[in-house]
Amino acid sequence: MSEFKVVPGGVCAPKGFSASGVHAGIRHNPGKLDLAIIKAEVRCAAAGVFTTNKVYGAPIKVDRAHLADGYAQAIVVNSGNANTCAANGVALATQCCELTAKALGIDAADVLPASTGVIGQPMVIDPFEKGIPEAAAQLEATAHGSNQAAKAIMTTDTYEKEYAIEFTLGGKTCRMGAIGKGSGMIAPNMATMLAFYTTDAAVSPALLQKALRTVVPTTYNQMSVDLDTSTNDTLLLLASGLAGNEPVTEEGPDYEAFLAALYAVAGHMCALHASDGEGATHLITCEVTHAPSHEIARAIAKSVVCSNLFKAAVFGRDANWGRILCAIGYTPGDFSIDHVAVRIASAAGEVHVCENAAYHPFSEEEAANILAEHDILVKVDMGDGEADGKAWGCDLTYDYVKINGDYRT
Amino acid sequence: MSEFKVVPGGVCAPKGFSASGVHAGIRHNPGKLDLAIIKAEVRCAAAGVFTTNKVYGAPIKVDRAHLADGYAQAIVVNSGNANTCAANGVALATQCCELTAKALGIDAADVLPASTGVIGQPMVIDPFEKGIPEAAAQLEATAHGSNQAAKAIMTTDTYEKEYAIEFTLGGKTCRMGAIGKGSGMIAPNMATMLAFYTTDAAVSPALLQKALRTVVPTTYNQMSVDLDTSTNDTLLLLASGLAGNEPVTEEGPDYEAFLAALYAVAGHMCALHASDGEGATHLITCEVTHAPSHEIARAIAKSVVCSNLFKAAVFGRDANWGRILCAIGYTPGDFSIDHVAVRIASAAGEVHVCENAAYHPFSEEEAANILAEHDILVKVDMGDGEADGKAWGCDLTYDYVKINGDYRT
């Protein structure tokens, strides 16, 4: 993931994008930004993926309609209320698009809305009537603009999640930037919490959507904080085309190059989300190798990072590898566990804890030192094929319970 | 579940069974019993169901072989070590059967072994050589004998789990008794942690096995503490036939009566396990009605009691019904959420929090009072069919994290 040059600026790094974040009053705390706008200078090829939860936010219904033609020009997002399970939800989301379109002088059908916060809380239009014109007036094509937007979409997140890289398409330098939020109710299934990607690469809407559908199963869908698939997971990608590359309209080397850039940004964003999982003190990455298929490799990796018992053991810095084996064993699918080897690694070293599904002698002291680091890597070698897979998660801590015992009240 | 007369005595309540529990030295703490034997006077029709985890305890392999003929006479169980992921595991489990057979004067192929505790820890035969003859010498056909055995199989459990009822088959009074253990790594899939049932009803081995397979999917498989399906889940049922009923050898009214008794014991045992979930301060039962199929009703009920977010909300006594809707929505299956109604109830009352998948006005104060009780019932009416389903779980607390951050060390 380090093959690309990292650049500052988040969603404003690619050509043609500005962003802002303001306090509209959806949240009570006046110090907390709660409304963000991302605007493109031009109409963009646009793609999105959304939650598979049967209970889903009203903005998602509007997004699907507004994405039908493959183009969009702005994104409007609020935190503090998920606009989900409300009888007037679609009407409210539609009004938000109209307010945004008016403030920006664009078509309401080119605005994509998103919401995050408490589910089932009544929502009113008033703060949007005040906040949207303010956010429109404060749009900046700068790192500060992206950062304000990243701040405004946070809920229980403890830091802003932004990333941008440079890549080359047909000899032209392109950029891709992203902001994201989400730290609890994280077990994306098709897309994720909220993530907004921008790029100045010229890519057709159909290929943009195909690229998202290709990258999401191996990145966002492989991340879990708590196995609770949100009602509002949304990943939107706008491509302005202002980098000047020959438009990517069919599969081939340029599409592959774009896909690699998208994978790099998505993988990095997943690590940022999992690392900031509610109450987390550790990022847990699991890499599975030599599995019979990629599907099984990914399922095993996800099973390990989702195990409440192993997550609690990591919090306690206990190399309880039996819980890793247990999580491997209850993964659905047809595979053999006879040749499983497990290693636990971090910046402090690596211990080989299991070989052929049985105990492999290791130093508990060394293991405790390794688990004292923030970023923990679990390497699972299935010894039963050639496929690999990866997943991201975090430890289970007192603070996860505290945050979620208190969240609404 | 109250249609049967509850009787004391646990596994010793039915005719023909004795039990004991001793400290063999598998655990370091000399005050903790760690070895149990349950013995029948006669060879019994026997049945068992086991974990579906691909990584499974060595005793399970031996159980499957010893149950092949449909008969058994004794059960030997240790806590403190799961005998799982050990190269010499099957040899050790076989030796335990031989030691038990010698001490009881029965055939080693009629002994069923079980183990629970840390996975992947080296295990030796020495404590069994000392403990098995001691346990054999202390067998008692009394409530005390059952209670000692129930104590000896506990790990992080905070109380013994025992139950016995009386029922009638072909005019004869029969009894069924059970002991169980398990408070973490609880998400049974086929069977459960450890549970041992006895009955003096005469039932053929084939029908005994069929009855277990019928009852387990709607009881044990509908219970979860932490979604971690153990490597050692085992439910064994011995039927001595000493009640003198006409043997049940085919389906019909007697088989249905036996099934009802088995369901009553299994349902009660599930509530006992979930209520004692690691760190739990609440039992959460979810009853789903008017779903399109029993499978969907059960899946929805289980999804609700498994949601980490809702479990943490119950711990915080927060009626965060949006998290119930979220968990209903990510349940796999083809169903509509448009007419969902949700009520939260306990001994303190009931609040109607959601109607047609949207907010239904309720008093937060009343809801907090209801959630102050230990036993919480979530009633979900899908308004989309005639099938119902039920599941048992518990809240997610600081102590769950503490217990599992510390368990091994």
Inform me whether the C-beta atom of residue A374 falls under 8 Å from chain B C-beta atoms.
Answer: no
A289: pLDDT strictly greater than 90: yes
The residue among B303, B276, B274, B273 whose CA lies nearest residue B288 is B303
- Residue B203: give its domain's CATH number: 3.60.70.12
Q: What is the pLDDT of residue B407?
A: 58
Per-residue pLDDT tens for B369-400?
999 999 999 999 999 999 999 999 999 998 88
What's the pLDDT score for residue B4? 92
Instruction: Name the domain boundary from A240, A275, A310.
Output: A275
C-alpha A101/C-alpha A75 separation (Å) is: 10
Q: Which residues of A touch B299 (CB under 8 A)?
A: none
- Domain co-membership, B94 together with B182: yes
Nearest CA in chain B to A87: B358
Question: Does position B193 have pLDDT exceeding 70, yes or no?
Answer: no
Q: Encoding tokens for residue A62? A: 């509007």
**Shortest Cα distance, chain B CAs vs residue A405, angstroms:** 4
Q: What is the pLDDT of residue B122?
A: 85
Structure-token match 């989301």, residue found: A93
Q: Do A39 and A159 sit in the same domain of this protein? A: yes
- Determine the pLDDT at residue A189: 59
Do B175 and B10 form a contact (C-beta atoms < 8 A)?
no
DSSP state of A62: H
Q: How far apart are the first and last CA of chain B?
A: 40
A29 & A148 share domain:
yes
Contact at CB, A120 and B315, closer than 8 angstroms: no
B80: left (phi over 0), alpha (psi -120 to 50) or beta: left
* Contact residues for B247 (Cβ-Cβ < 8 A; gap 6+): B202, B203, B204, B241
Q: Does position A63 have pLDDT exceeding 70, yes or no?
A: yes
Residue % of chain B over a pLDDT of 90: 68
Same domain, B260 and B342: no
Chain A residues near residue B86 by CB distance under 8 angstroms: 358-359
- Taking only residues 51 to 80 of chain B, the set having a beta carbon closer than 8 angstroms to any beta carbon of chain A reads 52-56
Is A12 in the same domain as A153? yes
Cβ count near A83 (within 10 Å): 29
Residues B337, A54: C-beta atoms closer than 8 Å = yes
Q: How far is A262 from chain B (nearest CA, A)?
A: 27
Beta strand ranges found along A15-110 (DSSP E) = 17-22, 35-50, 71-79
Among A276, A318, A302, residue whose Cα is nearest residue A221: A302
Q: Same domain, yes or no, for B83 and B171?
A: yes
Chain B touched by A50 (CB under 8 Å): no
Q: Is B401 touching A (CB cutoff 8 A)?
A: yes
pLDDT at B142: 97
**In this complex, is the C-beta atom of B332 within 8 Å of any C-beta atom belonging to chain A?**
no
User: What pLDDT was estimated at residue A408?
Assistant: 59
Query: How confident is the prediction for chain B on average, in pLDDT?
Result: 91
Query: What pLDDT score does A188 carry?
Result: 64
Residues A94 and A165 in one domain: yes
B326, A184: Cβ pair inside 8 Å? no
Q: Do A322 and B230 touch (CB under 8 A)?
A: no
Q: Which of B192, B229, B289, B331 is catalytic?
A: B192
Domain holding A389, by residue range, is 283-406
pLDDT at A217: 81
Q: How many secondary structure helices (H) and strands (E) does chain A include?
A: 11, 15
Give yes or no: residues B70 and B120 share one domain.
Answer: yes
Top residue of A224, A228, A314 to mutate, by most chain B CBs within 10 Å, is: A228
Global pTM value = 0.84
Q: Does B291 touch chain A (CB under 8 A)?
A: no
Q: Are A58 and A83 in contact (CB under 8 A)?
A: yes
B312/A404 CB distance under 8 A: yes
**Cα dihedral B16/B59/A303/A301 (nearest 10):** 180
* Residues B10 and B177: beta-carbon distance below 8 Å: yes
User: What's the length of chain B?
Assistant: 409
Minimum distance, in Å, between the CA of residue B396 and any CA atom of chain A: 7
Min CA distance, B5 vs chain A (Å)?
A: 38
- Report residue B242: phi and psi, to 5°: -80, -5
What is the C-alpha separation between B355 and B236, in angstroms, rounded? 43
Give the pLDDT band of residue B403 (cuts 50, 70, 90): confident
Whats the size of chain A, residue-wise? 409
A209-263 pLDDT, tens digit per residue, is 888 888 888 888 777 777 777 777 888 899 999 999 999 999 999 999 999 999 8
- Is A121 near chain B, with CB under 8 Å? yes
Q: Are strands B161-169 and A5-6 parallel, antiparallel or unpaired?
A: unpaired
What pLDDT, in 10s, does the model give residues B210-241?
A: 888 888 888 887 777 777 777 878 888 999 99
Q: H or E stretch including A341?
A: strand A341-346
Instruction: Give A157-194 pLDDT, tens digit per residue.
Output: 889 999 999 999 989 999 999 998 887 766 665 445 68
**A37 contacts A157 by C-beta, under 8 angstroms:** no
Residues of chain B positioned with their CB less than 8 A from the CB of A329 = 53-56, 231
Residue A102 confidence (pLDDT) above 90:
yes
Give the minimum alpha-carbon distance from B131 to chain A in angstroms, rounded to a whole number: 26
Task: Check whether residue B181 and residue B316 sit in a common domain.
Answer: no
- The pLDDT, as a whole number, for residue A355 is 95
DSSP states along A119-180 = TT----SHHHHHHHHHHHHT-BSSHHHHHHHHHHT-SS-SS-EEEEEEEEETTEEEEEEEEE
Say how many CB pairs under 8 Å bridge A and B. 208
B176, two tokens? 């069924």
SS (H, E, C) chain B: CCCCEECCCHHHCCCCEEEEEECCCCCCCCCCCCEEEEEEEEEEEEEEEECCCCCCCHHHHHHHHHCCCCEEEEEEEEECECCCCCCCHHHHHHHHHHHHHHHHCCCHHHEEEEEECCCCCCCCCHHHHHHHHHHHHCCECCHHHHHHHHHHCCCCCCCCEEEEEEEEECCEEEEEEEEEECCCCCCCCCCCCEEEEEECCCECHHHHHHHHHHHHHHCHHHECCCCCCCCCCEEEEEECCCCCCCCECCCCHHHHHHHHHHHHHHHHHHHHHHHCCCCCCCEEEEEEEEECCHHHHHHHHHHHHHCHHHHHHHHCCCCCHHHHHHHHHCCCCCCCCCCCEEEEEECCEEEEEEECCEECCCCHHHHHHHHCCCEEEEEEECCCCCEEEEEEEECCCHHHHHHHHHCCC
CB atoms within 10 A of CB B219: 25
B225, B249, B275: which is the final residue of a domain? Answer: B275
Q: Which of residues 300-319 of B touch A (CB under 8 A)?
A: 306-309, 312-313, 315-316, 318
Domain count, chain A: 2
Element (H, E) at A295: helix A294-306
* Closest residue on chain B to A313 (Cα): B405
Nearest to B333 by CA among B376, B389, B285, B379: B389
SS3 at position A30:
coil
Scan for tokens 């088989």, then name that residue. B255
Q: Which element (helix H / strand E) includes A324? A: helix A321-329
Measured between beta carbons, the chain A residues lying within 8 angstroms of B308 are 226-228, 308, 400, 404
Contact at CB, B330 and A408, closer than 8 angstroms: no
First-last CA distance in chain A: 40
Give yes or no for a contact between A374 and A204, defined as CB atoms under 8 angstroms apart.
no
Residue of A nearest to B87 (CA): A358
Q: Which of B365, B304, B375, B370 is nearest to B337 (CA)?
A: B304
Q: Which residues of B touch A184 (CB under 8 A)?
A: 309
Q: Is the dihedral of CA B69, B72, B76, B77 positive or negative?
A: positive
C-alpha A120: how far from chain center? 23
B136/B31 same-domain check: yes
At A367, which CATH number? 3.10.20.340
Q: Do A122 and B330 touch (CB under 8 A)?
A: no
CB contact under 8 A, B402 and A398: yes
CB-based contact B86 A329, cutoff 8 Å: no
* The residue to which tokens 């930004």 are assigned: A33
Minimum distance, in Å, between the CA of residue B357 and any CA atom of chain A: 6
At B155, the pLDDT band (50, 70, 90 cuts) reads: confident
Domain boundary among A275, A307, A334: A275
Alpha-carbon distance of B335 to B294, in angstroms, equals 12
SS3 A403: helix
Taking only the tens place, the pLDDT of each residue in B303-332 is 999 998 899 999 999 999 989 999 999 898
Same domain, A219 and A325: no
Q: Which residues of A are catalytic?
A: 192
Nearest to A257 by CA among A354, A339, A169, A358: A169
Contact A231/B329, CB-based, under 8 Å? yes
How high is the pLDDT of residue A193?
A: 65
Judged by DSSP in three states, A71 sits in strand
Instruction: Please check whether residues A328 and A193 belong to one and the same domain.
Output: no
B312, A405: Cβ pair inside 8 Å?
yes
On whether any CB of chain A is under 8 Å from the CB of B229, the answer is: yes
Least CB–CB distance from B185: residue in A86, A309, A409: A309
pLDDT value at B1 more than 50: no
Give residue A1's pLDDT band: very low, low, confident or very high (50, 70, 90): very low
Cα dihedral B286, B292, B293, B295 sign: negative
